[in-house]
Amino acid sequence: MALEQAVSSSSSTLRNVLTFPKTLISKPQFQVAASPSWKTQRRWGNLKCSMTTTPSYPKPSEIPWQKELCNSVNLIGNVAAPVEIKHLPSGKVVAWTRLCVKKSATQSSSISLTFWDDLAHVASQHLQKGYQIHVSGRLIIDTVETEEGKTQTYYKVVAQQLNFIERNFSSASSSQGQEFDFAMAGGGK
C-alpha cells in the first residue's frame, strides 16, 4: 500500500506503467517489457509488476532412511512369459519371468522379474503367462556393453512380495478398473 501511495504521488508515467491489485495476494513479480524503448526512458522504463497466487501445499513428512525402501517399487501387470527356475550349486534357487505393465491404452512396457529361494518356488508353481499380479521389490539396474561397443541398460525387479490381483466383476467394481483389466496384454486369468 505504501508503494502504491508513493507511485500515486510520482509522475503519471510511472502510475501508467505499474499496476497494483486491490488486495494483497502473494509475491509480486517484476519484469522488464521486451520493448526497445525501455533503455531510453529515464525513470522506470517499461517495468511491469503483477501479483500471482501460488497455492501453498504442506511439505511432505520426513522419514528415517531405511535400506529396504531404497529403490523400492510396486508394480501391477500381467505375466508375459512362462516362469523359468534354476537351482544353483550354492543351494540357492532363482526364478525369472517378464511382467507386462500398461503405460496407456495402446502402449505397455515389459520388465524382468527375479525371484529368489522360497519365492522362486512359489512363482514357478503358481504363476502362468497372462496372470495379473502385484509385485513389490527392489529396482536393479544393470549396464552392459554390447559387441558393437554401445552401452545397454537393463532394468529388473528383484521381487520381495508377490500377490495375485483379485478378479471381481461384480456391479460394485468400477467400469474404469474393468477397462484397465481387459486392456491388459494377455487378458489376465
Residue 55 located in a structural domain: no
User: CATH number for the domain including 135?
Assistant: 2.40.50.140
Residue 85 located in a structural domain: yes
Specify the pairing of strand 151-164 against strand 108-116: parallel
Residue 83 located in a structural domain: yes
Helix (H) or strand (E) holding 9: helix 2-9
What is the pTM for the complete model shown?
A: 0.58
Q: DSSP assignment, residue 36?
A: G
Cell (9 digits) for 21: 491489485
How do the pLDDT tens digits run along the chain, 189 residues long?
A: 454 454 444 444 444 444 544 444 455 555 555 544 444 444 455 555 556 677 888 999 999 998 888 899 999 999 999 999 999 999 999 999 999 998 888 999 999 999 999 999 999 999 999 999 999 999 999 999 989 999 999 999 999 999 999 887 543 444 444 444 433 444 444
Of the candidates 87, 151, 81, 146, which has an alpha carbon nearest to the alpha carbon of residue 112?
81
Of the candidates 113, 117, 69, 66, which has an alpha carbon nearest to the alpha carbon of residue 91?
117
Q: In which residue are the cell numbers 486491490 written?
A: 22
Bridge partners of 110, per DSSP, are: 100
Residue 137 located in a structural domain: yes
**Domain tally for the chain?**
1
Contact 156, 112 (CB under 8 A): yes
Domain with 149, as residue range(s), is: 77-164
